[in-house]
Amino acid sequence: MDKALNTPFYDPASVAGKAPPIADATDLLIVGAGPAGIAAALEAAQGGIRVTLVDENPVPLETMGEDVPLHFGNRMDAAVGNTNAMLQAILEARPELGDVLEAGVDVKLGTACWGLFPHGPARAWMDTHAAGLADASHTSLIGFRQVIVASGRRDMGLAFDGWQRPGVMGASAAWRLAVLYGALDARRAVLVGSDTDALNVAVELMSRGVQIVAVIEQGDAILGDATLAAQLDAGGARLLTRHVIRHAHGDAYGVTSVETASPDREETVSFECDTVLLGVAALPAIELLEAAGCATTFDAARGGHVVRVDAMQRTSLLFAHAAGDCAGVWATKNRDEDIARDEGRRAARAVLDALGASAGIVGTSSPVEPDAPAHDIAQSRVEWVRASVVGAAGEPFVCQCEEVTAREILDVRPPRYLDWHPSDARHDTRGVDDLARSGPPSPDAIKRLTRACMGPCQGRRCREQVAALLAIGSGCALPQIPLATFRAPVRPLALRKLAQIEEAPATGAHWDSWFGMASQWVPFWRVDPLYRAGTRQTGEPVASE
């Protein structure tokens, strides 16, 4: 009888008891150094706990070039390549960071959080919650007891002929480059979208020397604040309704002009510009929290898909909180940063209560209810996609990374590198309408079947467009379309950087059997002790030879 049968069942290649070394630890990790994150850090520091505040700004130039975390559209000027200059710009734009440092908070700028890994049944082999951090040169894990995510917002993409050209960018990205970095390379801009958030960005850019030549709205009327619209009109912007961009003309350096058209294409208007601002919708940036397992919902008053939070900004995970724009975007909050600050303070107070460190700290204010939606944001997003993307001139790629068109998504066509053709009888495909017979179609299924949203930008430019296309193709309302899931790393990371995270010594001893080398045919209980990747020298025999 094999002696292995008389020994306890134990897999030496298991991860049990082999948690990766945690480089650092903190009581509270705060992700995002905007108004909410800074306020949370100052509040939490009063409790005498260890607080770590990380913010990915200044974002490296090469990461901006991948349109991550925002759709920067290559409208960064040369200054963004100077990290020291950008750090100085950020400190000048956020002088409160000086108070945070004086309060004893560990501040890490230029550091992205690429994943939250909660301790729980699926990760019982870890003895703490952990977060993945990455700066320009180093990648590591940090353990934490509580986390506040104040990761801000991003913009909905919108495909049209030429939208891949440099100069087509998100409105939030333009705001960040102009206000936080002082490095926006734009002179004449056309704004696509007219809600209050978009108009507010346009007015801010106009005050910084950018000429807004037109505001394009596909609906019957400008949606946003009338005062802001009047300021843009007085500044020379043409307010154009019932129009979408049909073509963005340009050269190797970017956009030079755009041509708009009415839905019936009977009226066309052209504008000379070097920048197109996509302001169709500002979206809460919830990828970190959703990937960690927080419950989400579609809440029109808060900007769409958001994590569920209570009055103290607590999510469905006891250790996680959301504050600022990632907890909801609405017009009043966009104009008044104190609302985000109050959310940060409430989240910090909830953390201190959870850690038993809130004694003597004055209570925080009550939450501010979001504005009632001025329009049906779900239907508006669908109509933008219907008017601009479906049947767009030149069949632009909705997913630029994987080169997938709207028609390929609606028909659920396999990736083109498979050399598939509609007449090929070897493949049985069903369009979105057929998939919807068993319920609202899943963006995750479409991703696997077409590769849409599978590129380096991780769906930031196309995710909402794909959802809208599924709503159009299936006849479902947009809120019925499931949220496409996020996965770590939520920021692009080179494998060489991920490899910097150390492994437990016992893990390296069994890399051979993990990575399908010769021992893959040998049951783990029969692997000879000689077969160890971490110890054997090149040229030595292995157990399976």
pLDDT tens, 434-493?
A: 777 778 999 999 999 999 999 888 899 999 999 999 999 999 999 999 999 999 999 988
pLDDT tens, 241-258?
A: 999 999 999 998 999 999
How far is Cα 508 from Cα 511, in angstroms, rounded to an integer? Answer: 5
Q: Are 277 and 169 within 8 A, CB to CB?
A: yes
| CA pseudo-torsion sign 135, 140, 146, 152 | positive
Mean pLDDT score, 309-333: 96
The domain limits of the chain are 24-56+111-153+283-355, 375-502, 510-545
Look at 442 and 119; give whichever has higher pLDDT. Answer: 442
pLDDT at 538: 46
CA distances for 464 relative to 10, 58, 283, 319, 459, angstroms = 46, 26, 9, 29, 8
Those residues with Cβ within 8 angstroms of residue 219's Cβ, 6 or more apart along the chain or in another chain: 194, 241, 242, 375, 380, 383
pLDDT at 18: 76
Q: Are 391 and 400 within 8 A, CB to CB?
A: no
Mean pLDDT score, 310-319: 96
In this structure, of 2-6, 91-95, 204-208, the range with the lowest mean pLDDT score is 2-6
Mean pLDDT score, 212-225: 96
Closest by alpha carbon to 153, among 271, 383, 327, 22? 327
Give the whole-number percent of the chain exceeding pLDDT 70.
87
Look at 458 and 238; give whichever has higher pLDDT. Answer: 238
pLDDT tens, 392-431?
A: 988 999 999 999 999 999 999 888 887 776 666 555 566 8
| Dihedral pair phi/psi, residue 480, rounded to 5° | -80, -20
Averaged confidence pLDDT in the chain: 88
Look at 417 and 339; give whichever has higher pLDDT. Answer: 339
The pLDDT of residue 172 is above 70: yes
pLDDT at 536: 45
Give the whole-number percent of the chain exceeding pLDDT 90.
71
| CA pseudo-torsion sign 179, 231, 340, 75 | negative
Q: Are 36 and 150 within 8 A, CB to CB?
A: yes
pLDDT at 263: 78
How far is Cα 400 from Cα 421, in angstroms, rounded to an integer? Answer: 21
Mean pLDDT score, 331-336: 92
* CATH, range 24-56+111-153+283-355: 3.50.50.60
Band of pLDDT at residue 544, cut at 50, 70 and 90: very low
Look at 362 and 119; give whichever has higher pLDDT. Answer: 119
pLDDT tens, 120-165?
A: 766 666 778 999 999 988 999 999 999 999 999 999 999 999 999 9
Q: Give the global pTM.
A: 0.90
The pLDDT of residue 542 is above 50: no
Q: Which two tokens stand for residue 307?
A: 């994590």
Band of pLDDT at residue 283, cut at 50, 70 and 90: very high
Those residues with Cβ within 8 angstroms of residue 85's Cβ, 6 or more apart along the chain or in another chain: 79
Band of pLDDT at residue 520, cut at 50, 70 and 90: low
pLDDT at 537: 46
Band of pLDDT at residue 5, cut at 50, 70 and 90: very low
Q: Could you report how far apart the first and last alpha carbons of the chain are, in Å? A: 23
